[in-house]
Structure 1
Amino acid sequence: MTDIRKHAVEPTSILHLRNSADELLYADDAEGNPDKTRPMEAEIYGPGSKQFKKAQAASSNRMVERLKKKGKDTQSAEEKALADAEFLAACTKSLRNVSFDQLVGEALFMAVYTTPEIGFIPEQINKHIGDWSNFTKASPTN
């Protein structure tokens, strides 16, 4: 018999962020050119992590509260964007080589995930986080 847990996924995964033209993003060097040694990355908690499950529960609880208060499930575009950003922020462990008005931690995550002009970033993260294979453990080398 084989213990099924040997197929468990990692709790986090690293996503190298891309721009709207699908090109890999790098932090700038001192001259303002892309520094290939400093990729812009998101470390994301995946569907097999406690943090992801907690974020899902919080998202569901917000929807239930909205239903109780308003009696309906409709959201404005702004409310939906904020709810999506809150979920992604809760699923983000770190953003590496990414800056936004000197913000850090959750404030940085929320700024990045709620700015419409860089909406391609949360779209990438949503896509990445929704694919269990992105969290597969690396095969041991022989």
Structure 2
Amino acid sequence: MTDIRKHAVEPTSILHLRNAADELLYAEDADGNPDKSRPMQAVMYGPGSKPFKKAQAASSNRLMERLKKKGKDSQSAEDKAQEDAVFLAACTKSLDNVSFDALTGEALFMAVYTAPEIGFIPEQINKHIGDWSNFTKASPTI
């Protein structure tokens, strides 16, 4: 018998961020050129991790609270974007080589995830964390 846990996923995965033209993003060097040794990347907690499950539960609880208060689940576009950003921020371990107004930690995550002009970032992160295969362990080389 094989222990099913052999197929467990990793708690985190690294996503190399892309721009709206689907090109990989890199931090800039002193001359303003892409520094290929410094990829802009998101280290994300995945669906098999405790932080992800906690973020899902918190999101569900916020939905239930809205339903209790208003009797329906209607949100403005701004409220929906904020709600999505809160979920993504809770699922983010780090944003590496990414800057936004000298912010760090959760403030950085929220700024990146709520800025409409870079809405392609949270979109690609949502897609990434929604796919269990992105969190599988690397296959051993033969």
TM range (shorter): over 0.9
CA drift of 1:96 comes to: 0.2
Match of 1:101 in 2: 101
CA drift of 1:70 comes to: 1.1
TM-score (norm 2): 0.99
Residues in 2 aligned to 1:11 and 1:104: alpha-carbon distance in whole angstroms: 22
Alignment of 1:38-49 (within 5 A): 38-49=38-49
Alignment partner of 1:43: what SS?
A: strand
Percent identity of the aligned residues? 86
Q: Provide the aligned C-alpha RMSD in A.
A: 0.6
Map Cα deviations across residues 43-91 of structure 1 (whole Å, 9 max, x no partner).
Answer: 0000000000000000000000111111111111011000000000000
Match of 1:71 in 2: 71
CA drift of 1:139 comes to: 1.5
Match of 2:60 in 1: 60
Match of 1:134 in 2: 134
Match of 1:26 in 2: 26
Q: Which amino acid aligns with 1:120?
A: F
Q: Which amino acid aligns with 1:66?
A: R
Alignment partner of 1:56: what SS?
A: helix
Residues in 2 aligned to 1:5 and 1:43: alpha-carbon distance in whole angstroms: 23
Alignment partner of 1:99: what SS?
A: coil
Alignment partner of 2:100: what SS?
A: coil
Match of 2:92 in 1: 92
Most deviating of 70-79 and 52-61: 70-79
Residues in 2 aligned to 1:79 and 1:99: alpha-carbon distance in whole angstroms: 24
Alignment partner of 1:111: what SS?
A: helix
Match of 1:81 in 2: 81
Residues in 2 aligned to 1:77 and 1:94: alpha-carbon distance in whole angstroms: 26
Residues in 2 aligned to 1:101 and 1:27: alpha-carbon distance in whole angstroms: 15
Residues in 2 aligned to 1:21 and 1:51: alpha-carbon distance in whole angstroms: 31
In structure 2, stretches of 5+ residues that fail to align are none
CA drift of 1:140 comes to: 2.2
TM-score (norm 1): 0.99
In structure 1, stretches of 5+ residues that fail to align are none
